Amino acid sequence: MAALATLKGQPAPAGQPHPANDQGQSTEGSARALLRFITCGSVDDGKSTLIGRILYEAGAVFDDQLTALDNDSRKFGTQGAAPDFALLVDGLSAEREQGITIDVAYRYFSTDQRSFIVADTPGHEQYTRNMATGASTADLAIILIDARKGLLPQTRRHSFIVSLVGVRHVVVAVNKMDLVGYDEAVFRQIEQDYRNAVAGLGFASIDFVPVSARDGENVTSLSRLTPWYRGPALLPLLESVVVVAEAEVEAGFALPVQWVNRPDLDFRGFAGTIARGRLRVGDVVAALPSGRRSTIARILAPSGDVSQASAGQSVTVTLADEIDISRGDVIASVMQSPVVKQELQARLLWTGEAALREGGEFILKLATASANAQIVRLHHSVDIESYAEAPAQSLAMNGIGLATLILDRQLAVLDYTSSRELGGFILIDRLSNQTVAFGFVETRANKSNERLAKGPSTAGRTVLRLVGWRGAQERRAWFEAASWRLASGWVVFAAVALSTGQLGLAAALGLGDIALRPLLKGLHARLWTRRAPPALYDGAGI
């Protein structure tokens, strides 16, 4: 621990570090507001180093971890004799060998003012899906920018993704200020460039802090090296930031059913985690998608019967009436209830290695429900440099676009801006079982897409059932068969017309060939199916 002992022995301008088991962090029973935040940005911007430094100076590193950090820094570190704080969160062997973050690392720590859960996410474009996973539960995002490089494509991509998943508070940490001599002009230029780039993303607050994660400058206390900076240091800023919470209590109640609890004949309860709103005994509710109504008879929490429960609580509810409800259904208030849809318009973050194309079929999972889904229309993609929308026929890996999906069953959904639980979903490849997309429902469709979002007419549905959706294998097979029938009928017409000279007879025989050929083919296939021996069937003899 020589390097750490030397560091600890000096009154660093960033604050007084101490091991976590040497000094308490708070008074027992004190109420704290939990803040979930994520660090993101381009590769090598210093995300892991910043988190490691915060953990160290906040006293969230134990003595044995300090000893391990000193040993690991000599073996894997990139800071010479100094401790490499990135190793506190980069725990995978592949991460240490390559010096990059691959998987999402979650860490919990607390100060006297607040408790925190931080997600350290990778910066490499290949692991964007991991970054999106970490951002999906965050209240705030720390976006790191290398002071030497400025805004990079991955910085723009991560900014768009955090806005897409509903993060409304951003802290931009301009890191490695020591490598540019703590130049105020560099910091101000990056601040201006970033504000211009994300002006249309709808962030509620954007704060900028010049830091040196390696040296701890402006991390937990203000640095003497940046006298021109008048704002708070990074950690005090995180302690004081006010996250605007969604109006969960005022919004309509919604409980996605995870499990039907039936321990005996006298009890039938519906268990799950409340997605939004507040539920009380006696409230009138509807079971979606069926729409049947009842009233709440009992609410059971882990502590027993309660009179009410709110968003985030796991409860079991019983109804006054016997209603057919199963996993995936939603029990919701009659007023301000989720909408029931079989066709969804949603923004997609494509994470599959193979490109997304119209007609693709996947498994969709939303809250506790699942359904088969087909992408019937890709409206546009988003240019990650300008955030402009452009027509697209496909989405490559890490591409973002707006699409319309049709499901094989109705689901209760909400706009993602109203509910992450009932507005966010994933798409799973049916063959590889890999997650290939994150989806964000948009129930308030744009006027230009309103007709398509509502779906085709009854006649259109009938035609689509016959020929299939554009890009689907069914449509290709239908057109192949239709073209063969037309070609065959035309040959019969031409042969009879040339040999007899009777156009009426030739036309009748040609149309008859078109009509009778699929019928004869079906009879032929049925005949051989009946005569097929059992050994030809799948699984025969097993």
Write out the binding residues.
41-48, 120-124, 175-178
Secondary structure (DSSP) of 152-221: -HHHHHHHHHHHHTT--EEEEEEE-GGGGTT-HHHHHHHHHHHHHHTTTS--SEEEEEE-BTTTTBTTSS
Report the run of H or E that residue 413 belongs to, with start and end: strand 400-413
Rounded CA separation 14/215 (Å): 8
Rg of the chain over Cα atoms, rounded to whole angstroms, equals: 30
Q: At what angle do helices 473-500 and 503-531 cross, to 10 degrees?
A: 130
Both tokens of residue 104? 């999402």
Q: How far is CA 431 from CA 165, 389, 400, in A?
A: 27, 31, 23
Residue that has been written with the tokens 């321990």 in this structure: 263
Both tokens of residue 149? 């490089």
Instruction: Mark the binding-site residues for GTP, compressed into ranges.
Output: 41-48, 120-124, 175-178
Max Cα–Cα distance, the chain, nearest Å: 109
Both tokens of residue 295? 């009233």
Query: Please, what is the Cα angle at 344 between 338 and 349, to 5 degrees?
Result: 110
Q: Which residues are CB-neighbours of 480 under 8 A, at least 6 positions away?
A: none
Q: How far is CA 112 from CA 17, 108, 418, 477, in A?
A: 15, 14, 32, 67
Nearest of 183, 234, 235, 216 to residue 79 by alpha carbon: 216
Rounded CA separation 54/61 (Å): 10
